[in-house]
Amino acid sequence: MLAFIGGTGLTRMDNLRIIRRQAISTRFGDPSAAVVEGELDGQNVLFLARHGDPHVLLPHQVNYRANMTALKEAGATAIVAVNAVGGITAQAPTGALVLPDQIIDYTWGREMTLFDDPAEPLVHVDFSWPFDSALRNGLKEKLAASELKWNDGGCYAATQGPRLETAAEIIRLERDGCDIVGMTGMPEAVLARELALPYAMLSLVVNPAAGKSSHEITMAEIEAVIHDGMANVCRVLTDFAGG
């Protein structure tokens, strides 16, 4: 079953016809919210609000291990994760959707592996290509058929937050080859790989990253973009779920 993880601005999908909510407890603790099973365009899907419902958890407070384990236990076989990001390069203008194909992890101090039991065999998972190409191709098809501004590929910088970056940090991320910056891509993406769950990200650019515009980044500016942007994301996900 396809699962969606909703980020900032996507705590619920209004067009999801809810079948049941599962409060799942995992060996890593509780996920951010109940795992919702519902029907979307004739297909059963799972939905999890990454920051809780209502949105209360900051990116570094999210129990990513519990979230991913709970989705697997609920029957997820593939995951599309949605996130709000800052745009660094010309490939990522505000309001556009980006389907990243690479990720660099700048987070620290987060629980970033499921292999913490010395009694279990340790696996160094291959993570050369963090995002599943079949999921990305499916999303690309839907984006190409839409009127939306979107970009195929891009490198996602996962930063620790919750503060936004300095202008110098963004210059460094750009030098590193990053196109977009967000706070939740890791360890989520690698945990999906450890669970052998195909995973792709659909990122909405909600602001120019620090130093990329002449004005201060405000929550009001971000929220204005999120309102219409996440409605677009919902349409793409619904199309995608329908096949």
Residues that bind ligand HPA (CB under 6 A): 84-86, 159, 164-165, 181-183, 206-207, 209
Query: Vertex 192, ends 191 and 194: CA angle to 5°?
Result: 60
Q: Does the annotation place 186 within a ligand binding site?
A: no
Q: Does the annotation place 207 within a ligand binding site?
A: yes
Q: Does the annotation place 44 within a ligand binding site?
A: no
Least distance to ligand HPA from the beta carbon of 38, Å? 26
The dihedral built from the CA positions of residue 101, 107, 108 and 110, taken in this order, carries a sign that is negative
Which is closer to ligand HPA, CB of 66 or CB of 181? 181
Least distance to ligand HPA from the beta carbon of 206, Å? 5
Least distance to ligand HPA from the beta carbon of 20, Å? 31
Instruction: Name which of 94, 95, 106 is nearest 213 in CA terms.
Output: 94
The dihedral built from the CA positions of residue 37, 81, 145 and 133, taken in this order, carries a sign that is negative
Least distance to ligand HPA from the beta carbon of 94, Å? 10
Which is closer to ligand HPA, CB of 84 or CB of 190? 84
Which is closer to ligand HPA, CB of 7 or CB of 198? 7
Q: Does the annotation place 166 within a ligand binding site?
A: no
**Measured between alpha carbons, how far is 107 from 162 in angstroms, rounded to an integer?**
11
Give whole-number Cα distances, 36 to 43, 127, 159, 169, in Å: 14, 29, 28, 37
The closest residue (CB) to ligand HPA is 86
Measured in whole angstroms, how far is the alpha carbon of residue 106 from the centre of its chain? 16
Which is closer to ligand HPA, CB of 69 or CB of 232? 232
Q: Which two tokens stand for residue 46?
A: 């799972």
Q: Is 216 left (phi over 0), alpha (psi -120 to 50) or beta?
A: beta
Which residues are known binding-site members for phosphate? 8, 50-51, 184
Which residues are known binding-site members for substrate? 183, 207-209
